[in-house]
Amino acid sequence: MGESGTEPRKTLSIRDNRTGKDYEVDIHEGDVVRAMDLRQIKVNDDDFGMMSYDPAFTNTASTRSTITEIDGGNGILRYRGYPIEQLAEKSSFLEVAYLLLRGELPSQDELDDFVHNVTYHTYAHENIIKLLRGFRYDAHTMGIVISSVAALSTFYPEAKEIHDPENRWIQIIRLVAKMPTLAAFAYRHHRGLPYVYPENELSYTANFLNMLFRIGVRDYRPNPVLERALDVLFILHADHEQNCSATTMRTIGSSHADPYSALAGGMAALYGPLHGGANEAVLRMLTEIGSKDNIPDFMESVRNGDRRLMGFGHRVYKAYDPRASIIKKTAHEVFEVTGNNPLLEIALELEKIALQEEYFVKRNLYPNVDFYSGLIYQAMGFPVEMFPVLFAIPRTVGWLAQWEEMLEDKEQKIARPRQVYVGEGERDYIPVDRRG
């Protein structure tokens, strides 16, 4: 409170000691100052004005958003206000997809309509199969799916009409519907198996499992526990606000590229081992550790800075990732059906040690969403190459919600950061025969 009980002024006073000048800039909702307000701070009239410097955007908000709220210090994640724990327990992936994309939970009619539309757009053009056949037998499935999503833009040239909301909605439905088909085709290609076409009477995840795993039988019905576990995993992965891949999707979309091209870019960002590739890296790490006896040596190399404990740490969460707690519970349900994954013991021991050790405690390193998800995927029969793909299918919804929000935000323009140039000043060209 200010003097005599008045509200404090929501401004920031800045003194430029180079000039002795004082400035006052507004503090906006979310305790932010606008970087452009710094531009008025100049040494003289010819000066460009001050900028903020923030490599990797660790302290810069690039947008105002109403989609996903994370309170990293308290381990809170909410989609459109609904806690992730409630959605994972009570909702379905397609209902959550509608919520993220449209802003509200659907009525029964809206949900039926959405599920019907998604179900009836699952087929991909046959030429996509020709494209897939061009990949080597050992091509990584993520590379195949990224390429086929990008290729979809050539089948739907009208998707360029990004300012038409109805047109956007058709592309959104297509992308949500076709991602499992592309992912399953990539898997079957990887395995050298014939492609299985979508079946409309199955649920989103049952249809996906059918396209992946049906061999030699006419009626394949996945175990309902596994079908639901995958649905829960999809809910948990559906969005995570301005992460590396969502930011990539927004950045590409800001140049008004079509959603298929933008989404292929977002997916490429997800592929890296520091982002969606982490669950694959966790599994490789656990396999390499191999036994509980090797954990002390491994942890020593992490403490020495030679290795990272994959599946630990997060840019935003400085507490237990709420998704990791739900996944841990889901893992136990899945293992009841599939039998225990022997790597689980190593994972549990690593977590136990890390939660007590000073190195991890001091740096607020807790398990993230990827620490246990790979164990479930492996138990369900997925090869590690499919792990990032399994992340990309539900995250398609988040990317599309973020992309639409960006397009409708009047404040957004083509994304284009500044730089601080620290290279050579002007110098004259020297012909090659005269260079030392």
| Among positions 313, 322, 374, 388, the unique one binding ligand ACO when judged by CB under 6 A | 313
Count of all residues that appear for the chain in the document: 436
Token reading at 87: 């959605």
Rounded least distance, CB 56 to ligand ACO, Å: 7
> Is 121 among the residues that bind ligand ACO (CB under 6 A)?
no
| Among positions 314, 378, 386, 397, the unique one binding ligand ACO when judged by CB under 6 A | 314
For residue 256, indicate whether it is catalytic.
Answer: no
In the region spanning residues 218 to 247, those forming contacts with ligand ACO, defined by CB under 6 A, are none
Alpha carbons 325 and 345: distance in angstroms, whole number? 16
Rounded least distance, CB 359 to ligand ACO, Å: 7
For residue 314, indicate whether it is catalytic.
Answer: yes
From the list 106-114, 151-159, 177-185, 310-318, the region that binds ligand ACO by CB under 6 A is 310-318
| Among positions 106, 253, 311, 374, the unique one binding ligand ACO when judged by CB under 6 A | 311
In the region spanning residues 253 to 292, those forming contacts with ligand ACO, defined by CB under 6 A, are 274-276, 278
Which residues make beta-bridge pairs with 77?
A: 70
In the region spanning residues 348 to 377, those forming contacts with ligand ACO, defined by CB under 6 A, are 363, 365, 368-370
| Element counts in the chain: helices (H) and strands (E) | 17, 5
The number of CA neighbours under 13 Å toward the Cβ of 130 is 5
Rounded least distance, CB 244 to ligand ACO, Å: 7
Q: Which of 389, 32, 34, 71 is nearest to 241 (CA)?
A: 71
Q: Are 208 and 230 in contact (CB under 8 A)?
A: yes
Rounded least distance, CB 278 to ligand ACO, Å: 3
Identify which of residues 162 and 310 has a Cβ nearer to ligand ACO in the complex: 310
Q: Which of 140, 370, 428, 433 is the catalytic position?
A: 370
Contacts of 268 (CB under 8 A, 6+ apart): 146, 248
- Which own/partner pairs from 225-232 qualify as long-range (CB within 8 Å, at least 24 positions apart)? 225/333, 225/334, 225/336, 225/337, 226/334, 226/337, 226/338, 226/380, 227/203, 229/330, 229/333, 229/334, 229/376, 229/380, 230/205, 230/380, 231/92, 231/93, 231/203, 231/204, 231/205, 232/88, 232/326, 232/330
> Is 298 among the residues that bind ligand ACO (CB under 6 A)?
no
Which residues make beta-bridge pairs with 16?
A: 21
Token reading at 290: 């191999």
> Is 315 among the residues that bind ligand ACO (CB under 6 A)?
yes
Identify which of residues 198 and 277 has a Cβ nearer to ligand ACO in the complex: 277
> Is 198 among the residues that bind ligand ACO (CB under 6 A)?
no
For residue 258, indicate whether it is catalytic.
Answer: no
Q: Which of 237, 177, 236 is nearest to 211 (CA)?
A: 177
| Among positions 114, 208, 312, 382, the unique one binding ligand ACO when judged by CB under 6 A | 312
Q: Are 79 and 87 in contact (CB under 8 A)?
A: yes
Rounded least distance, CB 147 to ligand ACO, Å: 22
229 by Cβ neighbours in 10 Å (0-12 / 13-18 / 19+) ranks as buried
Rounded least distance, CB 368 to ligand ACO, Å: 4
- Minimal CB distance residue for ligand ACO: 313
Q: Which of 237, 240, 314, 321 is the catalytic position?
A: 314
Q: Which of 42, 402, 376 is nearest to 226 (CA)?
A: 376
| Among positions 309, 344, 389, 393, the unique one binding ligand ACO when judged by CB under 6 A | 309
Q: Are 225 and 232 in contact (CB under 8 A)?
A: no
Number of residues binding to ligand ACO, judged by CB under 6 A: 18
> Is 12 among the residues that bind ligand ACO (CB under 6 A)?
no
In the region spanning residues 375 to 414, those forming contacts with ligand ACO, defined by CB under 6 A, are none
Rounded least distance, CB 315 to ligand ACO, Å: 4
Contacts of 19 (CB under 8 A, 6+ apart): 43
Residues near ligand ACO (CB under 6 A): 274-276, 278, 302, 308-315, 363, 365, 368-370
User: Which residues are catalytic, by number?
Assistant: 275, 314, 370
